[in-house]
A = this chain, B = another copy of it.
Amino acid sequence: MNTTLLTVADIRHVIAEVGLDTLMRQMIDGLEVAFREYTPETFVIPTRAGFHYEQPYPGLLEWMPSLRSGEAATIKVVGYHPHNPTHHEIPTILSSIGVYDTRTGLLAGLLDGTFLTALRTGAASAVASRYLGSSDSRTMGLIGLGAQAVTQLHALATVFSFDRVLAFDIDADASRSFAHRTAFLGLPVEIVPREQVVAEADILCTSTSVPVGCGPVFNDVETKPWLHINAVGSDFPGKTELPYALLRRAYVCPDFPEQAQTEGESQQLPPDQIGAALYDIVQNPGPYAQYQQSLTVFDSTGWALEDAVAAKLMLDHAQRLGVGSVIGLQHVPTDPLNPYDF
């Protein structure tokens, strides 16, 4: 039986054919559709689990399964190793995504998940900002200018028309290179102190590698009344990015409430202070439209549903374009009752 494999080169090929902007737009739209269709019956999504270790370097390896009932299961395995860029010159977040045919259990597809993780995390922030941000947002703020910041800005610029981008990172190299890395967007990037980013932004994305217990990544300052924050970095017990006082004043929308309460900004909140999940708001936006003019936070821990949508988008493009290789990974003997029948 055969498995479709999409390597880095294949994904590069798809991107070259489809275009990054189109891909991002399709990812945002696909995610919005999936959020609208989500029910606990159509999708089964357990909270992720993983291994956390300190040796040889601090790291986290997590598996994020999701099941689209009657169709396919998707399991992303994602590594979070903050020393990767400095020690190995590779990204902090690396992943691969397996898609399984639930009729037989066969691994139908396997693809790089690193690019797709960045893409879907950006897209999720775009969907959240579309529902909770002010529609005439002009100033985008970013705290933490690593790999995720690139797709955050790309995704948000797909949905909003920015004329200012205010950015901050504690790392001078990341700050210096950010304008270059996002030059394809044609937006003016200003590196400014973090308080200025927070005070002047209409929409803010935090995507830092702040260590456990070392948040928040900025002090509570006065913000625009309609500020919408996409808090992307917190994804581990004890790791949070936002000041508690700000969080208490905000309407907080988690991507996946069960997970956000143990890994997200929502860790800081009592359960009755946590708002509706993003899929809830997408399914029933009316009562939440009022929050577009007040302080809101999208508590984005990363939801396995997003990975399933991203994997399907990429595999569908690859199939249409004839990209990827088909390999006989799994052993299917001529006689199913004989494991030695090669």
Contact = CB atoms under 8 A, between A and B. Distances in A.
A78 B106 CA distance: 9
A120 to B, nearest CB: 11
A337 B104 contact: no
A330 interface: yes
Contact of A90 (B88, B146, B148, B332): B332
A286 B85 CA distance: 51
Contacts of A79: 100, 104-106
Q: Tell which of A65, A79, A337 has the most Cβ of chain B within 10 Å.
A: A337
A94 interface: yes
Interface in A301-336: 327-333, 335-336
Nearest to A93: B105
A113 B183 CA distance: 45
A107 B80 CA distance: 13
A107 B154 CA distance: 28
Nearest to A89: B336
A112 B338 CA distance: 15
B151 A329 contact: no
A165 to B, nearest CB: 16
Given A7-B327, A329-B8, A105 B85 contact: no
Nearest to A9: B328
Interface in A94-119: 94-96, 98, 100, 102-107, 110-115, 118-119
Contacts of A81: 103-105
A330 B8 contact: yes
B336 A61 contact: no
Given A77-B100, A338-B181, A8 B328 contact: yes
Given A106-B94, A147-B339, A100 B61 contact: yes
A184 B63 contact: no
Given A73-B51, A100-B77, A174 B337 contact: yes
Contacts of A147: 336-339
Given A79-B106, A112-B330, 9 more contacts: A53-B69, A55-B69, A56-B102, A59-B105, A63-B75, A78-B105, A85-B337, A96-B98, A114-B331
Interface of A: 1, 5, 7-9, 11-12, 15, 20, 44, 46, 49, 51, 53, 55-57, 59-61, 63, 65, 67, 69-70, 73, 75, 77-81, 84-85, 88-96, 98, 100, 102-107, 110-115, 118-119, 145-148, 150-151, 154, 174, 177, 181, 184, 327-333, 335-342
